[in-house]
Amino acid sequence: MRFERIDLQLLTDCHYFGVLSACDVLLNRNSSVPWFILVPDTELDDVLDLPEAQLQEVMTECAAVSAFIKQDLGFTKINFAGLGNVVSQMHLHIIGRSSSDGCWPQPVWGALPEGCDYSVEELNDWQAKMVDRLGLSPAPL
């Protein structure tokens, strides 16, 4: 596992779901929107600096998480970003959005309402689906 190399702020803000071949998968604890964070296995800071083959693999995994959010969680809109202004470690945000979420149509950054954490049952369900559909190697939740 690459868990030990993930920035402490990401681990504090998120549930650690497990590992895909190119990225670690986290889920923001605020359940207001399904906000997944993928952390590529690299020392580089910016996604566009990745070698072509690794960039393709990372983007394929981002697209798979996006499809999961759309097909399994029922969201039709995805916000996708790689910022790294607060946490410099490369990480990519994949967020399910809908016109009924608490900060629509604004970006989630700075506008996300306080939300409760996910239930253990929901976390286990989503993780199991990602194991089945995406080939996630699960971590203990």
Higher pLDDT among residues 3 and 17, named by residue: 17
Sequence letter at residue 33: V
Q: How confident is the model at residue 2 (pLDDT cuts 50, 70, 90)?
A: confident
Q: Are 65 and 49 in contact (CB under 8 A)?
A: no
Looking at residues 57-82, what average pLDDT do you find?
97
**pTM for this entry:** 0.95
Q: Which fold has domain 3-134?
A: HIT family, subunit A (3.30.428)
Average pLDDT of the chain?
95
SS3 73: coil
DSSP for 74-125, written as a single string: ---EEEEE---SSS-S--EEEEEE-TTSTTTTS-STTTPPP-PPPPHHHHHH
Residue 132 reports pLDDT greater than 70: yes
For residue 113, the model assigns a pLDDT of: 87
pLDDT tens per residue, range 47-61: 999 999 999 999 999
What is residue 76's DSSP assignment?
A: -
31 pLDDT higher than 80: yes
Closest C-alpha among 89, 138, 86, 130 to residue 110? 86
Query: Average pLDDT of 74-97?
Result: 94
**Which pLDDT belongs to residue 1?**
47
Structural domain boundaries in the chain: 3-134
Q: In this predicted structure, what is the pLDDT of residue 4?
A: 81
28 pLDDT above the threshold of 70: yes
Q: What is the pLDDT of residues 105-122, one digit of tens each?
A: 999 988 888 889 999 999
